[in-house]
Amino acid sequence: MVSLALIHYPVYNKGGDVIASAVSNLDLHDIARAAKTYGIEKVYVVTPLLDQQSLVKRIVGHWTAGAGGRYNPDRKKALELIRLAGCLDEVITALESRGQGRPIVVATDARPQAGGIGFSDCYQMLKSGRPVLMLFGTAWGLAHPVIRAADYILEPIFGPTDYNHLPVRSAVAIVLDRFFGH
């Protein structure tokens, strides 16, 4: 019972200002395909910008109800996981409304955060069966208030180098594989 939220606001830009980032077509496809691979329930695309919401609807509609789905049914199965939300609270309310309680909210960030939990501790929690919502930030990452408001902060992904600049698309794929791959 794990869902993802891809957050476009509030996130940081390169200069450290809080912005609403643009939706990326490739993010939607790649994250939906990883989510479908690893048994994720829903992928919430969170943006308050109406033009960006329209874009998400157009992309998802093309692949679920339109010509894209007939051309590529596998893509349709992945994009069908996507839901639109104007803000994070809306996502939490939607998950709560299913009667299984408030989801545990796990933030992710490329920077190590005080009080972050490791992948194995997080995995134990995921196995508990309670609904879990994992947050992934676009642009230069989730704004601190979102991270601080989460129930848990997952430790960053590291390889054997100090290079720490993965695209959010890749971060989602890696995190899901660490939890659910075999």
Strand pairing report for 132-137 and 2-7: parallel
Q: Which residue, 42 or 85, has its beta carbon nearer to a second copy?
A: 42
Q: Does 9 engage in binding with a second copy (CB under 8 A)?
A: no
Q: Does 166 engage in binding with a second copy (CB under 8 A)?
A: yes
Choosing from 15, 26, 50, 99, the residue that interacts with a second copy (CB under 8 A) is 26
Q: How many residues of this chain interact with a second copy, rule: CB under 8 A?
A: 35
Q: Does 177 engage in binding with a second copy (CB under 8 A)?
A: yes
Choosing from 15, 99, 129, 163, the residue that interacts with a second copy (CB under 8 A) is 163
The dihedral through the CA atoms of 33, 37, 42, 45 has a sign that is negative
Per-residue contact flags (x/-) with a second copy for residues 57 to 76, judged by CB under 8 A:
---------------x-xx-
Question: Edge-to-edge strands of the sheet including 2-7?
Answer: 82-85, 43-46, 2-7, 132-137, 104-108, 152-154
Q: Does 161 engage in binding with a second copy (CB under 8 A)?
A: yes
Q: Does 13 engage in binding with a second copy (CB under 8 A)?
A: no
Q: Does 39 engage in binding with a second copy (CB under 8 A)?
A: yes
DSSP string, 107-147: EE-SS--TT-B-HHHHHHHHTT-S-EEEEEE-TT-B-HHHH
